[in-house]
Chain A
Amino acid sequence: DTAVSQTPKYLVTQMGNDKSIKCEQNLGHDTMYWYKQDSKKFLKIMFSYNNKELIINETVPNRFSPKSPDKAHLNLHINSLELGDSAVYFCASRRGVDWQYTEAFFGQGTRLTVV
C-alpha cells in the first residue's frame, strides 16, 4: 500500500483552466505539506496543515488554495493556471508537529504542465 499517494501523476492543461491535485496518506499522520519543485529542481514549501488547520502559507499566489477535508487528505486547487505554474508538486506527511523527531514521507509527485 502506498503511504502517501497523489493523483494524478501527470497533468497537462491549458492556461486559464482550474485544476486540482489530490493527496491522501494512510499513515495516520497529523501534518501534511505541499512542496513545489520548479524546472531547476528547486524544492520549496507552499503549505502545511496540522489536523486540518493551516499552519504554513508561504508567499504563494491566491490562485493556489489548499483544502483539507480531513487529516488524511490535503488537496491543492489551482485557479486560472499560468505557464509559470508548470512544475512538479509534492505532497508529504509527518506524524505531527508534536512529534519533533519524525521524518516526512513524500508522495510520487504530480508533474503539472501548463500549455
Chain B
Amino acid sequence: AQTVTQSQPEMSVQEAETVTLSCTYDTSESDYYLFWYKQPPSRQMILVIRQEAYKQQNATENRFSVNFQKAAKSFSLKISDSQLGDAAMYFCAYRSLQGAQKLVFGQGTRLTINP
C-alpha cells in the first residue's frame, strides 16, 4: 500500500518570502499522480498543483512549483512571494492509476504567514 509522509507539522514564513514544504511517499508503482491540496480555515479542499510521475519536468502554477524527485520519492512544494492568503493546511497526496484511484494523503503541514 502506498504511504505519504509530511515531516513538517508546522511551518512559518515571512510575507513575500519563499517557503518549501516537504513530502515523501512510498510506492512500487512506476506511474501515478501527485498532488498538493490547500485547506484554508473555510475547510474547502483546493487543488494547488499536480504532477504526473511520467513527466520529468516539474509542474508550476504561478507562485507555486514543485521539486519532483522520482528516484528519491520526494515531492516538495515551493511557494514564492508568500502572501497572507497562502496561510492554510497543505496536504500532499498520491493517486494510483490503478483500481479505484483513491487519494492517499499525508498528515498535512500548517503554514503560517507572518506579516
> Do the two shown chains form a genuine complex with each other?
yes
Please report A residues at the B interface, Cβ cutoff 8 Å.
31, 33, 35, 40-45, 48, 50, 55-56, 88, 90, 92, 94, 97, 100-101, 103-104, 106, 108-109, 111
- Please classify how large the interface on chain B is, using the bins under 10, 10 to 19, 20 to 34, 35 or more: 20 to 34
Please report B residues at the A interface, Cβ cutoff 8 Å.
33, 35, 39, 42-45, 47, 50, 52, 89, 91, 97, 99-105, 107-108
Task: Please give the distance in Å from B15's CB to the nearest CB on chain A.
Answer: 24
Q: Which single member of B44, B52, B89, B91 contacts A108 (CB below 8 Å)? A: B44
Task: Report whether B108 and A41 are in contact in the complex, using a CB–CB cutoff of 8 Å.
Answer: yes
Task: Report whether A40 and B52 are in contact in the complex, using a CB–CB cutoff of 8 Å.
Answer: no
Least CB separation from B103: chain A residue: A104
Residue of B45, B105, B108 contacting most chain A CB atoms (<10 Å)? B45
Across the A-B interface, give the 4 residue pairs with the lowest CB-CB distance, nearest first.
Answer: A106-B45, A43-B105, A45-B102, A55-B100
Residues of A within 8 A of B45 (CB): 90, 92, 106, 109
With A31-B100, A97-B100 already in contact, the answer to whether A109 and B105 are too (CB < 8 A) is no
